[in-house]
Amino acid sequence: MIRKNSATRTFLCLLLAFVFAASCLPQTIFATTDKKTVTTWPEGPENNSGAVCLLDADTGAVLYDKNMDEQRYPASITKILTALLIIENKQMTDTVTFGEHAVSESIPGNARINVQLGETITVEDALHAILLASANEVCTQLAIDIAGSEEGFAAMMNERAAALGCTNTHFVNANGLPDPNHYTSAHDMALIMQECIKNETFCRIESDLTYTIQPTNMTSTPRDLQNHHALLFQDGQWGYKGAFAGKTGYTDEAHNTLVTAAKRGNMTLVCVVLTCDNLDYINDTRTVLDFGYDNFTHYTLKNAKKESLSGVVTLPKNAKIETATYTDPDGASVEEPYTRQYFFDDHFIGTAEVSAPGTVSDSSSVSSDSSEETDSTDIPTPEETKKISFLSTLLYILLGLNGVAFLILIIVVINNARKRRKRRNRRRNNRNKRH
């Protein structure tokens, strides 16, 4: 009976020591995963497009990437940059008269509005012809009017694209007709669209899904135009909720291409799909945009005691801002305002302007889909994260060793107690034998 009780106590002590040691180890080893907390970047959806980029236009965060930096033919989505440069260099009431070179492109097989030699329309009409009807000859004439030649206008396009951060783009014409040296990437086109939708005139023209060019000096009947981008028609079969701007493209070399901007709540997303066949350009765009809205939200950064912040970042839904990191420029000091970059799971998620306390307005005025806010001091730098991780691991190891030591101590105490009991029992038995 004594031996059985001793064995039971030994087992219970060992079990207690094991539980203590286990409690000292990282919870991620023994605890079940909390499904409500996201710690990694969401996995993107399957799609059939050759290249895809999903960009948060508000923060600059790339939410989904599939071959987004590969150079590919853009076809007519080229025209969004053409339209932007026209808006920036012309007045809507200016007129454009078509010459021989432009009219030569108004031929079967080309997207066109059938302009005639010497015909005059307004720039307002021309921009609708470009963005709704994808008129190639209109792009060419405006390029010549603005830069003196197509080559000169293409140089303007390339300069502007480079200024926007495009690194895999080179244009040789204003309309996207095939040329081996006319190429871009899904990421670059997303950056261009991000800039285009900042322009009120661009967005106003895109909002006109239909438009009529009134009779001109060469035509007696009006021209009715309709946008080719099916996702923009909210009441149509393919309409996408929140889609407000975009451009279609197609050539045999490029296949189908599509640029789409959509806004839901306070989040504006830009989706670019390249090298698509059949209806993939529509279906993949819907799927990728849904992925963005279903899995991400905005987070407004809050002022801290030592610095003022103004900025919004993009986080996976249910992610904690404390798991994000940031980097500052070398030599950065709040005495001189600077831009801080934020990251989550090694993905860029946005920036914030940093300055001394009281020098910028409260960041709570920044629109956000999330009511949560945080001090910048809650977010560690990558170096601090590594240091914290190392120290935490070291602490866990020390606690674990303490648990093991405690286990050994209990075993020793139990064994010593058992030996003392055996000696007492032996002496007691010897005394009884003598009596």
State pLDDT tens for residues 235-290: 989 999 999 999 999 999 999 999 999 999 999 999 999 999 999 999 999 999 99
Structure tokens at 273: 């799909």
Q: What pLDDT does residue 29 have?
A: 32
Angle at CA of residue 205, ends 204 and 209, nearest 5°: 110
Q: What pLDDT does residue 331 have?
A: 83
- 360 pLDDT higher than 90: no
Q: Which CATH architecture has domain 52-295?
A: 3-Layer(aba) Sandwich (3.40)
- 86 pLDDT higher than 90: yes
Contact 52, 64 (CB under 8 A): yes
Angle at CA of residue 274, ends 271 and 277, nearest 5°: 115
Angle at CA of residue 395, ends 392 and 398, nearest 5°: 155
What values do phi and psi take at 228, rounded to 5? -85, -10
Average pLDDT for the chain: 84
- 354 pLDDT higher than 60: yes
Q: What pLDDT does residue 307 have?
A: 85
Contact 176, 76 (CB under 8 A): yes
- Looking at per-residue pLDDT, the higher value among 295 and 430 belongs to 295
Work out the pLDDT band at 88, boundaries 50, 70, 90: very high
What values do phi and psi take at 375, rounded to 5? -75, 150
Beta bridge partners of 267: 264
What are the helix (H) ranges across 226-381? Answer: 280-295
Q: How far apart are CA 382 and CA 343, in angstroms?
A: 9
- Which residue's structure tokens are 């009780």? 5
E strand or H helix at 232, and its extent? none
Q: What pLDDT does residue 236 have?
A: 86
What values do phi and psi take at 46, rounded to 5? -70, 145
E strand or H helix at 108, and its extent? none
Q: What pLDDT does residue 168 have?
A: 98
Q: How far apart are CA 209 and CA 263, in angstroms?
A: 17
- Looking at per-residue pLDDT, the higher value among 434 and 249 belongs to 249
- 11 pLDDT higher than 90: no
Structure tokens at 434: 């003598």
Mean pLDDT lowest among 221-230, 274-283, 395-404:
395-404
Work out the pLDDT band at 424, boundaries 50, 70, 90: low
Claim: this prediction has a pTM higher than 0.75 = yes
In one letter, which amino acid is 168?
N
Q: What pLDDT does residue 302 have?
A: 84
What values do phi and psi take at 398, rounded to 5? -65, -45
Q: How far apart are CA 70 and CA 355, in angstroms?
A: 38
Q: Is the dihedral of CA 263, 264, 268, 274 positive or negative?
A: negative
Tens of pLDDT, residue by residue over 16-37, are: 555 455 554 444 333 333 456 7
Structure tokens at 150: 């197509």
Contact 309, 357 (CB under 8 A): no
- 158 pLDDT higher than 90: yes
The full set of domain ranges for the chain reads 1-33+389-435, 52-295, 301-379
Q: How far apart are CA 356 and CA 145, in angstroms?
A: 48
CB-neighbour burial class of residue 205 (10 A; exposed 0-12, middle 13-18, buried 19+): buried
Q: What pLDDT does residue 204 have?
A: 98
Q: What pLDDT does residue 356 have?
A: 83
Q: How far apart are CA 231 and CA 236, in angstroms?
A: 8
Mean pLDDT lowest among 42-51, 273-282, 410-419:
410-419
**78-95 CB burial, b ≥16 within 10 A, e <16:** bbbbbbbbbbeebeeeeb
Output the furthest CA–CA distance in the chain (Å, rounded): 139
Helices (H) and strands (E) in the chain, counts: 11, 15
Q: How far apart are CA 232 and CA 153, in angstroms?
A: 29
Q: What pLDDT does residue 245 have?
A: 98
Mean pLDDT lowest among 101-105, 213-217, 293-297, 370-374:
370-374
Q: What pLDDT does residue 285 have?
A: 98
Work out the pLDDT band at 306, boundaries 50, 70, 90: confident
- 9 pLDDT higher than 70: no
How is 339-361 classified by DSSP, letter by letter? EEEEEETTEEEEEEEEESTTSS-
